[in-house]
Structure 1
């Protein structure tokens, strides 16, 4: 946020203009095109506070969070606790909202510790949430590693910033080039389910390649090289990159088939018993890539 360093910084306490809520800014969690997010406290528990001088954009984000709460039976985004304005000592008006603080690890960090075999399981759960989001008429838009957190108890892959969420049929309002199909010449920036699925495939490629990579002079050639490391995930990711999925349910179905085609139950090895040597280079071989374990994990996810 331009010219906001003196007004909004770690250590100050914000007081809401209308609801009189008082929130300490403990530490900064991140910044984006719209505003900054801080760790705060509310009723003795941690929460996340996003603040910006872009009132219209913030109002839209609040509308999105309120809409996600109405999707019956699914917790699609952070719970919204409060929204208000803040007038700084300099007299500048800011808008902020307070939401659930989702504590956890970035997806790539989690996979690095737990093993690549966890990737398809976590993707399955996220695809279920994306399916519900799309059915509600929204596209996440700015889907990327920075906006994904693996929470514990239960283990779930959740998104933490709805700043790029856009109504279907409109132009994507916020994106990051690496995950954007328009940047790669693989489609438009129209808000539709296939846009999110392309970004999810790029997120997976970033993980299996261990880094982001530039598109170069021949973007499709670059993607073909990157996807070679995806192992058994390759056919599913290729279809997502090429826009062959019209909805999340199709990608989810292919991923389930992938997991069910692998090892028999008698060869099962749980993640806790797995050693580094039991992982192959594609990451999808030995342990979790077996039907019963995958289905149990996924069923447990859906029951939360």
Structure 2
């Protein structure tokens, strides 16, 4: 039986699904082109800027998100700005979304083919550097997983995306009405809303990601690189 909070989230999800449909024009500036996830209610859409014809990414808060979470995501993107982070363009608090740069030549690492799996150990140092960059800026990403890291084949660079779970390091989750996390990539403290945001939350997620490759056939060099990275990550927990 659903409680009042569950019913509220269902109502919000239905309203969001109705309000964002392909072809809809937002703020008389962007036309929604397609959702960027397979979720029934997507939080990210590819859109066309009507004045320029350029493609951009529009993001909104998920159902049940606490008030101010979109502004916190914007603040995180601004604080962590750099070549390894998706560039934030504009915040639209009145209509509840933000616009970000779209990278047409980039692929989420969740879409790696079996033939490309050896690319992941090569990209790992770049991912470590990107996360360290955010930590030095005072933030955790909070939702590291294959779908939230883009790989640009041409430049062989990576970018972190989806900062919806980002939090300032040291922020206690105790008084938050809601928070975002991904099951299987989050430590118990994050899943249960306990403790404070800490860089080890991101390192935990990366360890889980690497462990998914334990039974996958990779080259001896790649396996060595994975084991070496795991050994370093274990010292950060």
Q: Same fold (TM over 0.5)?
A: yes
- Unaligned segments of structure 1, at least 5 residues: 16-20, 87-93, 211-229, 247-304
C-alpha distance after superposition, 1:217-237 (max 9, x if no partner)? xxxxxxxxxxxxx84223532
TM-score (structure 2 length as normaliser): 0.74
2:63 matched to 1:27? no
Superposition misfits of 4+ residues, deviation over 6 angstroms: none
| 1:9 aligns with one of 13, 21, 30 | 21
2:235 matched to 1:244? yes
For the pair shown, which has the larger CA radius of gyration, 1 or 2? 1
Match of 1:65 in 2: 77
Aligned length: 205
* In 2, Cα distance between equivalents of 1:6 and 1:175: 25
* In 2, Cα distance between equivalents of 1:79 and 1:235: 31
Q: Does the CA contact (< 8 Å) of 2:58 and 2:97 recur in 1?
A: yes
Match of 2:182 in 1: 176
Q: What secondary structure sits across from 2:97 in the alignment?
A: strand
* In 1, Cα distance between equivalents of 2:93 and 2:189: 36
Q: Does the CA contact (< 8 Å) of 2:83 and 2:159 recur in 1?
A: no
* In 1, Cα distance between equivalents of 2:38 and 2:168: 23
2:85 matched to 1:77? yes
* In 2, Cα distance between equivalents of 1:184 and 1:140: 12
Q: Does the CA contact (< 8 Å) of 2:126 and 2:158 recur in 1?
A: yes
Deviation at 1:198, TM superposition (A): 1.5
Q: What secondary structure sits across from 1:194 in the alignment?
A: helix
Q: CA RMSD in A?
A: 2.9
- Unaligned segments of structure 2, at least 5 residues: 1-11, 174-178, 217-221
TM-score (structure 1 length as normaliser): 0.59
2:213 matched to 1:204? no
Match of 1:167 in 2: 168
C-alpha distance after superposition, 1:5-59 (max 9, x if no partner)? 22221121111xxxxx510000011378x97111012322211001247551111
